[in-house]
Amino acid sequence: MSQQRNGQAAGVPGGAVFPDLPEATVARLPEYLRSLHHLAETGFDTVSSEGLAAAAGVNSAKLRKDLSHLGSYGTRGVGYDVALLIAQIEHVLGLTQRRGVALVGVGNLGHALAGYAGFGNRGFRIVALFDADAHRIGEQINGLAVRHIDDLAAVVTAEAISIAVIATPVHAAQRVTDLLVRAGVSSILNFAPCVLSVPDGVHVRKVDLAIELQILSFHEHRKSALTTLPVHVGHGRAALATPVNGEAVAT
Amino acid sequence: MSQQRNGQAAGVPGGAVFPDLPEATVARLPEYLRSLHHLAETGFDTVSSEGLAAAAGVNSAKLRKDLSHLGSYGTRGVGYDVALLIAQIEHVLGLTQRRGVALVGVGNLGHALAGYAGFGNRGFRIVALFDADAHRIGEQINGLAVRHIDDLAAVVTAEAISIAVIATPVHAAQRVTDLLVRAGVSSILNFAPCVLSVPDGVHVRKVDLAIELQILSFHEHRKSALTTLPVHVGHGRAALATPVNGEAVAT
DNA sequence: GCGAGTTTGTGCAAGCGTTCACAAACGCTT
DNA sequence: AAGCGTTTGTGAACGCTTGCACAAACTCGC
């Protein structure tokens, strides 16, 4: 993984630059942001760490520690100002400018992603669609024309695109990645079920439906194996461990 | 998160039951499995930890530790038997039986997921599609008819479905979740951008495209901030006044 | 202005996860 | 059978993450 340690940028002036957030925190901020937007729409002006944590599905101590990394934007005895916190998180995540995203591969999945309207509200705008299939070139999706992948470099440079989504078949993914990287893209979201190799400094995140299902499958398998085998306790102290959950109303 | 500690099942007999794998390991096994399948197709009979680790994009020590949790299935001086390891991982993940999965919400994204053919090879089979929109009922996707969500409970019970995918709009997701849980589903993959509340014992995994992009955005933002501000030396003058150089990224 | 009640921010300890480094185990060659 | 090069499995150290628990800081009511 491209795990670059960045030692400096610690004692930045009063400005609003980067406290070098822990990766785990970064991964949760978007969830907080979504919950905050929801709270704002529901009419909340302030929210306590407890409330926001519940909305985001995390522990409140964890939430407070996460937010404390951004600086002190809460008021003791009151909570957090929703609008202020939204602005702060959006700033840290770099969402103040609506970033342009390129999407490569307008097949089954790519088509759905391109048509997904929910981006606008979340800080992104798909500004270019690419495909290799000549039959698809020119097709309009959501008011955007599909372009041939040969135009990728030119368009990416012209539009200063730094983030791309790969929704191609596996066999094309690495080639497309190389194209993107050479064109200056430095963050990639990969939906193709394969490992992409990229130079240092390029971030890749991966989404693989089958992997998610397999992880769930493990837990299912484990559950059923545990209920099949009885409890297998050597000594009597079964009391502490709450039995497998009485709820199982299932038939 | 449903973080249930399960203390027992530690000292299982020599059989082939559950060594209580670390969650991080479980999350990586599917990636190993995919890489192994690829190696098998490419003609490899055995593979070293170094080789498999490279294919899966992880550290080789981590890979060995992960695999060691499954038991000793490698041969020192040689490596791992590819076919044996595939069988072993599939067994641990519970993929030996092709699990049936229900998909709820056949909109833009759901349609794409339903049409995705790559499941068969990865241990799953979509066996039921549901939607609330009357116009969609009866539509055939990949030889499977869309059914009304009112039939959900009956079908899930009849087909003994334990895993479901939610691809509905946000406003329907929690309601669908409650239906699924009541029908006996205990693992859910959620594509709706919201937090689902479920009883203990039900596993939820979430995929949110916008969140992934926002995490990438953070890194982009951070990179550009770091290259814009040089090194923040004691002498302030040059530091803040950097020319607005569009993109100084090397190619 | 003061006390009571809340809620944040954080020091600290425990738990996980990762990585290094190396002994034990294996195949192959002689 | 013995030595050599290779590779696994794992003990141990380190760093990251989580969660508790509490002092500091705030509001509100009087």
With CA atoms as reference, the chain B residue closest to A6 would be B226
Residue B219 Cβ < 7 Å to strand D:
no
pLDDT band at A50 (very low <50, low <70, confident <90, very high): very high
Q: Is the pLDDT of residue A170 over 50?
A: yes
Mean pLDDT for the stretch of residues A163-190: 98
CA distance A107 to chain B (A): 9
Q: What is the pLDDT of residue B19?
A: 61
- The separation, in Å, between residue A88 CA and nucleotide D30 C1' comes to 37
- Alpha-carbon distance of A192 to A177, in angstroms, equals 11
- The separation, in Å, between residue A61 CA and nucleotide C6 C1' comes to 15
Nearest alpha-carbon partner for A17 in B156, B239, B226: B226
Q: Is A35–B184 a contact, with Cβ atoms under 8 angstroms apart? A: no
| Rg of chain A, C-alpha, whole Å | 23
* Amino acid sitting at position B157: T
Q: Residue A159 has what DSSP assignment?
A: T
- Residues from chain A contacting residue B115 (CB–CB below 8 Å): 108
User: What is the DSSP annotation of B102-165?
Assistant: EEE--SHHHHHHHH-GGGGGGTEEEEEEEES-GGGTT-EETTEEEEEGGGHHHHHHHHT--EEE
Q: What is the pLDDT of residue B241?
A: 32
Higher local confidence (pLDDT), A7 or B113: B113
Q: Pick B219's closest partner by Cβ from A203, A213, A225.
A: A203
- The separation, in Å, between residue A49 CA and nucleotide D28 C1' comes to 20
Q: What is the pLDDT of residue A248?
A: 34
- In the sheet with B79-81, reading across from the earlier edge strand, the strands are B46-47, B79-81, B74-75
DSSP helix/strand/coil, B40: helix
pLDDT tens, per residue, chain B with 251 residues: 333 333 333 333 334 456 689 999 999 999 999 999 999 999 999 999 999 999 999 999 999 999 999 998 899 999 999 999 999 999 999 999 999 999 999 999 999 999 887 888 899 999 999 999 999 999 999 999 999 999 999 999 999 999 999 999 999 999 999 999 999 999 999 999 999 999 999 999 999 999 999 999 999 999 887 766 554 443 433 332 333 333 333 33
On chain D, which bases lie within 7 A of the protein's CB atoms? 5-11, 16-21, 24-27
Q: Pick A195's closest partner by Cβ from B29, B57, B123.
A: B57
Residue A22 Cβ < 7 Å to strand D:
yes
Give the torsion sign (CA, B116, B117, B119, B122): negative
The torsion angles phi and psi of A92, rounded to 5 degrees, stand at -65, -40
Mean pLDDT for the stretch of residues A123-134: 96
In which region does residue A232 sit, left (phi positive, over 0), alpha (psi from -120 to 50) or beta (all else)? left
Nearest alpha-carbon partner for B103 in B29, B178, B166: B166
Interface test with A, best of B99, B179, B214, B249 (most A CBs within 10 A): B214
- The separation, in Å, between residue A36 CA and nucleotide C16 C1' comes to 30
With CA atoms as reference, the chain B residue closest to A123 would be B214
Nucleotide nearest B80 (Cα, C1'): D8
In the beta sheet, which residues pair with residue A140? Answer: A145
Q: Residue A75 has what DSSP assignment?
A: E
Beta strands in chain B (DSSP E): 46-47, 74-75, 79-81, 99-104, 124-131, 140-141, 144-148, 163-166, 187-190, 203-206
**How many CB atoms neighbour CB A187 within 10 A?**
26
- In the sheet with A46-47, reading across from the earlier edge strand, the strands are A46-47, A79-81, A74-75
pTM, 2 dp: 0.87
- Alpha-carbon distance of A65 to A42, in angstroms, equals 25
Q: Pick A214's closest partner by Cβ from B123, B211, B217.
A: B123
Q: Is the pLDDT of residue A229 over 90?
A: no
Share the mean pLDDT of chain A.
Answer: 86
Q: What is the pLDDT of residue A31?
A: 98
- Residues from chain B contacting residue A8 (CB–CB below 8 Å): 231-232
The torsion angles phi and psi of B73, rounded to 5 degrees, stand at -115, 15
With CA atoms as reference, the chain A residue closest to B165 would be A213
- Residues from chain A contacting residue B247 (CB–CB below 8 Å): 160, 184
Q: What is the pLDDT of residue B248?
A: 36
Tokens 């009357």, residue? B134
Higher local confidence (pLDDT), A245 or A229: A229
Q: What is the pLDDT of residue B48?
A: 98
Q: What is the pLDDT of residue B155?
A: 98
Nearest alpha-carbon partner for B226 in A19, A171, A36, A44: A19
Q: Residue B197 has what DSSP assignment?
A: -
First-residue to last-residue Cα distance in chain B: 42
Q: What is the pLDDT of residues A54-85, one digit of tens each?
A: 999 999 999 999 999 999 789 999 999 999 99
Q: Residue A201 has what DSSP assignment?
A: T
Contact B52, B39 (CB under 8 A): yes
